[in-house]
Structure 1
Amino acid sequence: MAPVAPCLSLHASCVTWGARGLLIRGASGSGKSALALQLMAYGADLVADDQVQIWQQGRDVWARSPASEGLIEARFVGILTVAAAKETAICAIVDLDQVETERLPPKRHQALLGQQIQVFHRAEGSHFAAALIQFLKSGALDPDAKLSDANP
């Protein structure tokens, strides 16, 4: 799918699992590439590292690499080559500048090109990347729902 609307360039990274993309944002040095590498180790595919182009197509926001397709920075190792996905629809954003303090956080959203996209704040601990992969695989229960609603 080629972009048909104007693209916006962001300083971010992006990975995908199937057709579900995760946009990783944060200040320089916050760990965007490191989180992308962790997610890739669990099976996600890289879409873009350091620079991401996004555009709206219908009700979805799409992401792709503007250039340097298939490259990711591994701090203290170097620039690595990877087989990268061409593009993905973004289903969530990880904001590495915000630290999660809630054990079961509320569902948060942020407007991106006029679309409301779910947002996760950075979580301390080794489980964060694994939890994001599981979210990409099958979503998450609405925090307002009862656990009994999820297991009929």
Structure 2
Amino acid sequence: MQVHATTIALQDAGLLILGPSGSGKSTLALELMATGAGLVADDRTDLRRDGDAIIASCPPALLGRIEARGIGILSAQPSGPVRLAQVIDLGAGPGDRLPQSRSYDVLGMGLPLVTGPYRPHLYAALRQLLLGGRVA
């Protein structure tokens, strides 16, 4: 299955970034990459189920490339495939300040979901979520 999404890997955890064109998917990925994440795929992500895991990878034609609006297509060290740990949907509307747990169905599996528009602190919060998890 292929989705219109950007994916990064931080350690062994993958983050699938969904949202409409111009919502900040690549910007969020670039910010996470600046703090140590690796680029799995930009713009399109291939997904497959492997037992109880969803594995994200990059279509070969896009491997190691990410778009930076106003700058162009940039080269990046490719990462992945990676097991998805989290999904963020930048086009799902504003999220609550302290939201209830939500999930996003991918190939019959529910993955943890964060919703809301791009915000300046989002990359730092998602990085910490991938590294440390959610308390409540």
Q: Is the pair's TM-score, using the shorter chain for normalization, greater than 0.5?
A: yes
Is 1:9–2:5 an aligned residue pair? no
Superposed counterparts of 1:50-61, under 5 Å: 50-61=43-54
Gap change, CA 1:92 and 1:84, over 3 Å in 2:
same
For 1:3-152, list aligned pairs within 5 A: 8-67=1-60, 68-123=62-117, 125-142=119-136
Distance in 2 between residues matched to 1:131 and 1:60, nearest whole Å:
23
The Cα shift of 1:103 comes to: 1.3
Q: How far apart, in 1, do the equivalents of 2:23 and 2:114 lie?
A: 15
Query: Structure 2: where are the runs of 5+ without partners?
Result: none
Work out whether residues 90 and 118 of structure 2, in 8 Å CA contact, stay in contact via their aligned partners in 1.
no
Distance (Å, rounded) in 1 between the aligned partners of 2:53 and 2:118: 30
Structure 1's unaligned 5+ residue stretches are 1-7, 143-152
Q: Give aligned pairs, total.
A: 135
TM-score normalised by L of structure 2: 0.94
- Offset from partner CA, 1:37-77 (integer Å, 9 cap, x none): 11111211110001100000010101000122110000001
Over 6 Å off, 4+ runs = none
Give the structure-1-normalised TM-score. Answer: 0.84
Offset of residue 90 of structure 1: 0.6
Letter aligned with residue 125 of structure 2: A
